Amino acid sequence: MNITVFLGSSSGTKELREEAARLGAWIAQKKHHLIYGGSSTGLMGILARSAMEGGAAVTGVEIAFLTQQRLSQGSLTELIVSETMAERKKLMLERGDIFLAFPGGTGTLEEIAEAISHTRLGLQKGICVFYNLNGYYDPMAAMLDRMTEYGLLDEDGRKSIRFVSSIEELDKICTRAGS
């Protein structure tokens, strides 16, 4: 299964770094293919290195100006260089079966929002998941519930956006999607 993970290139907390490493190891153990932003720094780098150390195929999709700054992760299975953020997101969406928002910043929110929109419109197949570690995405779940309450998101749309609080819960979603 191709798992596109949206997450930051900043380091985050110790807990986030440890969980990113656990997620990468799980991706490798389950023989999934990781697609991510291509950076060697912060949480992105931790995730990619952990997945690669476990033997996973890892594709990085990075913007050209960042590769020129030599921020790309080395030893990737594949590095795809895009000219724009729009092209980068498109390439990441085209390759994914699962779209996972790890705790992140505004870029992570932008990427998962686009994935949700594309899957809801039928432009892309896949499952959108928020990794709700320690309630990080509780405000997002509340906002989606509010959208539903106000008639701006239908019940099926709301149910299609998943939240998991552990790798074990993510594993169940991936297992169901693969069967």
Residue-wise pLDDT for 128-158, tens only, equals: 999 999 999 999 999 999 999 999 999 999 9
Q: Report helix, strand or coil for 127.
A: strand
- For the entire predicted model, the pTM comes to 0.94
Q: What is the mean pLDDT of residues 163-179?
A: 92
**What CATH class is the domain 2-174?**
alpha beta
What is the three-state SS of 144-160?
A: HHHHHHCCCCCHHHHHH
Domain range summary for the chain, segments of one domain joined by +: 2-174
Backbone angles phi, psi at 168, to 5 degrees: -60, -40
